[in-house]
Amino acid sequence: MRRLAALLLAGAAALASPPAPTPPHEYVQAVEFPYYSYPRALWERELVWLKNIGVHTVEFSIPWNWHQLQPGDFDFTGRTSPRRDLVALIHILRRLDLQAWVRPLPPIAGWRSNGAPPAADARAQRAWLHELESLLATQTASHGGPIAWVEGRALAIDAAAPPAPLTVVSASDPAALAHSRQAFATGSPGTLLWTDVEDTLPPAGWAANAAEVLHKGAVGLSGDERPAAVALRRHAALLRNWAALHGALHPVALPKPPAGKLPQGVSMAELVSPAASAISISNSGKQPFHDEIHVFEPESKRTLVIPGVVVPAGDSLWLPLDVSIGPSGLCHECSNFSGAEHIVYATAELLSVEFENGILAMEFAAPEPAEVVMQLARKPVGPYLAAGRPMEFEWDDKALRARLAIPANPAQGNRVRIGIGIEEPETSAFFNEARRLIIGQKNVVSTSYSSGEVAARSRLRLPEGYTATPKVKSPDEIDYEVSVPADALHGDYAAFALEADGMPLGRARLQLFRPVSIRLMEAMQIHYGNETELSPDPPTASTEPKAGTDLELSIRNNWPSIQTYFLEASGDGLEFFPPKTEVIVGSTEERRVPLRIFAKEGISGLRAWNLKVTGAATLDLPMRVVLIPRGRTVAWSADLDGDGSPEWVLETQKVRAIFSAQDGGRWMEFNWKDTNLNYLPEPGAFASRGPVEVHAAGDALEFAGPGWKRTVRLSGSTLTFEQSTPLPADALTPDRRGNIDFKIAHPAPGRAVYSLEGHQP
C-alpha cells in the first residue's frame, strides 16, 4: 500500500501524452496560423504552446504576392523578410511533430489584393504552383514531413484534402466552446478550424484595410492568454484522445427529460460506440444547469439516470458514458482490464486514462465538483489521490462499482488528475523526480525498480534523435545520461517510457529548456495602443553615452542544479563595466546582473553589441543600444517588428516617437519613457495607402509621399509636424494619464504640434 502511494505521487506528471500523428479517419482539429502576419521571433514559442495544449494541426495560407518578389523571383527562406521563411516554418512543424494544412492559392481574407500579384494570369499561377510543388513535395506526411492536407486540387503532391464538412470557430466568439462541441457531436467525419487564436500583426502595408494594424486574438503578442483562450484549451485537451474515437461514434435518441423538456438555453446530445460513448451538454442560458439527466445506456439498452450534473452558464461539458478501460477505449495500454470493466459515467469531462504500476490514473476537466463511477472486476486496493490529496472512495461489494469524488479546479482549463491503486504490482518502475531536460546537453534521468531483476531486464524507450547511456547506481536503480538534440525547441515536451519483457512499467513527459534564458531588462517595446506591446529582436535599450548608463541583465538558470556562467560584452565604439562577469545561479533560479555601458566621444544613434555567454551555456547574443546625448534628439531606423521593412524613430531621453515607412508614413507610437505609456491608439495617426521615402535630417525626419512632403521634428517632449499640403485629420484627442498631459495644437492646416508635459499631481 505504501509503495502504491509513492507510485501515485511519482507518476502524477506522466498523464498527458504528446499528440501523435493523426490517423486518416481521425477527426481533424486545426488552428489557423498566418505566419506572414506574426513576428518570426515568436513562431517557435506559439507553435510549442499549441502543441502543448493538444493541437495536432496548424492551417495556413501561403500568400502568392508575399513570396513572389517579382515574376520568377521567390523568397521562401527569409532573405528579404524573416516572415517569408516558409522553409523554417516547415522545419519547426517537423521538429514538433505537428501537421500542416496548407492553402496554396488566393483568396486570403484581410490580405492585400487577397494574396494575388498584379499579373495573376494562368501562366503566372502555374509558375507559382510549380515553385510550391518543388518546395513541398518532399515535406508531405508520406515522406515523414508535416504537410498532411492541401486545400483544393491545385498542387500535384501526395497530400489529401481536409475531411469535410468544415466548421470554422472563432476563438473570440463567446460561444466558441459550444460551437466546437456541437461540431464534434455530429457523429460524422469532419474538420474543425479555429481562427482568431493569436494576435496578428500584418507586415506594414500588407493589410487589406490600411487602418487595421493589429488584429486581436485569444493570445497576445507577449504570450498572455486572454479569457477567450479557455475554449480552445478545453476542446483541444478533450480531442487529444477522443478525436481517434470519433469515427465510431453515432448519435442516438435521448430519453425524455424528467421535466418533459430541458431548461431554456440547454441542449444535449448522446453519441455511442462499442468502446466509448458520451453526452454533450451545452448551457447558453444565464443560469447554471444543476439536475439529473436521463440517458440511453449502451450496455443495458436501458435508461440510466446520472445525478448531480452541473453545467455553469455559458459552459459546455462532454461527459463520458460506458467508456471501456481496456485498450479499445482511451487507454491504449490498459491490457490488464477485462472487456466488462468500464467507466459507467462521470459528471466531469474525461480527458485521458492510463494504467501502469498497478495504478489507474485519469484526467478530467472539472469546472464544478463531480464524480466518476467505474465498473470493475475487483475492489481497488487503494489509496485514492485526487488533485494530489488523499481522499475516500465508495465501493459497492455487490455491484463491484467504485464511486470516486472529483474536486473542482477553477483554474484555466479546469484540469484535475486522480489516481487509484487497482492492484499491488508484481513489478514496477518509475522515474525519480524527473521534470526537465536541457537542450543540447547531457542530462541525468534517474529510474527505480521493484527489484534488481526487473532493473536488469528493463530498457528505456527514447524519442527519435535522443541517445541515452545507462549507469547502474544500485541493483534497483539506474541513472541514464540522456542527450537532447541541439535543435529541440524550448518549452516542448519529450515522452520517455520504461519497459521490461515488452511490458510498459513507467512513463515520464519531460519539458525541454534552453540552458539559460537571458533578458535585457531595459529593452524597449513597440506599443499598439494601450494594451499590446512587442519586444523588438534583437533587444534594444536607450542610454546616455558620455556619463554612461546602468543596464541590467536577467540570467535564468534552467538547469535543475547550480550553474556558473561567464558573461562578456563587446561592441564597436562601446565600453562595458565590468567587461567580464562570472555569475553563479541556483537551480531554476533567476539572478540580475548590473552592466554599465559607455560610448566613445562623439558617438550617438543606434549601435550593435554582443553578449557572449560561456560556462554552463554557449551563446552569442546580439543586442542593440541607442545612444542619446543629454538634451539632444536622435533619429534612427531598424526593423522593430520583424516584417522586413524598417521603422523610423525620433527619440530623446524623455520620449520616443515611432513611424512606418509604409502606410503613408503612419505615426505608430508616442511614448513617455519613464512610465512606458503610449498616447496613440492602435491604428496610430496619419495612415494612408502606400510606401513613402524617409530620411533623417538632424533632429528631424523628412517624409516624401505622392504630391506632399512632411517634416517631423522632436524637441524635448514636443513633436512638430509640418507638411507642404494640409495634414490629414488625425482623430487624436488630448489626454491625461497620471501626471502627464498629452496636448495637441493645430496652428495651421499644414502644421500640428503634439507634446507630453508633466504637471503637479
How would CATH label the architecture of 427-513?
A: Sandwich (2.60)
Task: Please state the rounded mean pLDDT for residues 570-576.
Answer: 95
How sure is the predictor about 179, in pLDDT bands with cuts at 50, 70 and 90?
very high
Q: Is the pLDDT of residue 1 over 50?
A: no
Listing DSSP states for 144-160 in one string gives: TSSEEEESSS-S-SS-B
3-state secondary structure of 230: helix
What is residue 215's DSSP assignment?
B
**149/300 Cα distance (integer angstroms):** 41
Least confident of 2-16, 93-107, 122-136, 717-731: 2-16
What class, spelled out in words, does domain 515-630 have in CATH? mainly beta
**Do 680 and 673 form a contact (C-beta atoms < 8 A)?**
no
Q: Which of the pair, 546 or 447, is modelled with greater confidence?
A: 447
For the four alpha carbons of 460, 461, 463 and 469, in that order, the dihedral sign comes to positive
Task: Please state the rounded mean pLDDT for residues 177-196.
Answer: 91
Q: Is the pLDDT of residue 594 over 50?
A: yes
Residue 22 has a pLDDT of 46
Residues 6+ away with beta carbon under 8 Å from 610: 569, 570, 571, 620, 621, 622, 623
Question: Tens digits of per-residue pLDDT, 711-741?
Answer: 999 999 999 999 999 999 888 999 998 899 9
**Do 359 and 5 form a contact (C-beta atoms < 8 A)?**
no
684 dihedral zone (left: phi>0; alpha: psi -120 to 50; beta): left
Q: Is the pLDDT of residue 662 over 50?
A: yes
**710/489 Cα distance (integer angstroms):** 46
**664/704 Cα distance (integer angstroms):** 9
Residue 333 has a pLDDT of 79
Question: Tens digits of per-residue pLDDT, 204-238?
Answer: 999 998 778 999 999 999 999 999 999 999 999 99
**Domain limits of the chain?**
28-234, 249-421, 427-513, 515-630, 631-761
Query: 354 is written with which cell numbers?
Result: 492510463
**454/460 Cα distance (integer angstroms):** 13
Residue 241 has a pLDDT of 93
Task: Output phi, psi for 257, to 5 deg.
Answer: -60, 155
Question: Amino acid identity, residue 753?
Answer: V
Q: Is the pLDDT of residue 10 over 70?
A: no
**141/21 Cα distance (integer angstroms):** 9
**Do 368 and 408 form a contact (C-beta atoms < 8 A)?**
yes
3-state secondary structure of 447: strand
* Cβ neighbours around 63 below 10 Å, total: 24
Closest CA to 217 of 92, 85, 34: 34
Query: 449 is written with which cell numbers?
Result: 525498480
Mean predicted lDDT score pLDDT of the chain: 93
Query: 504 is written with which cell numbers?
Result: 510498459
- The share of the chain scoring above pLDDT 70, in percent, equals 96
Q: Is the pLDDT of residue 20 over 50?
A: no
Q: Which neighbouring-strand residues pair with 498?
A: 460, 506
**What's the CA dihedral at 37, 38, 39, 42 to 10 degrees?**
-170
The domain defined by 249-421 carries CATH number 2.102.20.10: yes
CA geometry: angle at 77 spanning 73 and 82, to 5°?
A: 110
**339/355 Cα distance (integer angstroms):** 15
3-state secondary structure of 550: strand
Q: Is 249-421's fold the same as 515-630's?
A: no
Q: How far is CA 468 from CA 451, 478, 502, in A?
A: 22, 12, 19
CA 240 to chain centre: 16
Query: 238 is written with which cell numbers?
Result: 478533450
Interior/surface letters 117-130, b for 16+ CB within 10 angstroms, e for the rest:
beebeeebbeebbe
- Name the pTM for this structure: 0.94
Residues 6+ away with beta carbon under 8 Å from 570: 576, 579, 609, 610, 612
Residue 761 has a pLDDT of 61
* Cβ neighbours around 620 below 10 Å, total: 10
Question: Tens digits of per-residue pLDDT, 305-350?
Answer: 999 999 999 999 999 999 999 888 898 878 889 889 999 999 999 9
CA 221 to chain centre: 10
**87/70 Cα distance (integer angstroms):** 19
Task: Output phi, psi for 571, to 5 deg.
Answer: -170, 145
How sure is the predictor about 299, in pLDDT bands with cuts at 50, 70 and 90?
confident
**253/188 Cα distance (integer angstroms):** 16
Task: Please state the rounded mean pLDDT for residues 519-528.
Answer: 96
How sure is the predictor about 259, in pLDDT bands with cuts at 50, 70 and 90?
confident
**653/544 Cα distance (integer angstroms):** 8
Task: Please state the rounded mean pLDDT for residues 530-555.
Answer: 94
Residue 641 has a pLDDT of 95
Question: Tens digits of per-residue pLDDT, 374-428?
Answer: 999 999 998 999 988 999 999 999 999 999 999 999 988 899 999 999 988 888 8
How sure is the predictor about 18, in pLDDT bands with cuts at 50, 70 and 90?
very low
* Cβ neighbours around 475 below 10 Å, total: 12
Task: Please state the rounded mean pLDDT for residues 431-449.
Answer: 93
How sure is the predictor about 654, in pLDDT bands with cuts at 50, 70 and 90?
very high
**Do 122 and 128 form a contact (C-beta atoms < 8 A)?**
no
Residue 434 has a pLDDT of 76
Q: Which of the pair, 339 or 594, is modelled with greater confidence?
A: 594
Closest CA to 5 of 334, 362, 385: 385
Residue 34 has a pLDDT of 98
**608/139 Cα distance (integer angstroms):** 37
Query: 56 is written with which cell numbers?
Result: 495536432
Residues 6+ away with beta carbon under 8 Å from 198: 33, 38, 46, 217, 218, 219, 221
Residue 760 has a pLDDT of 66
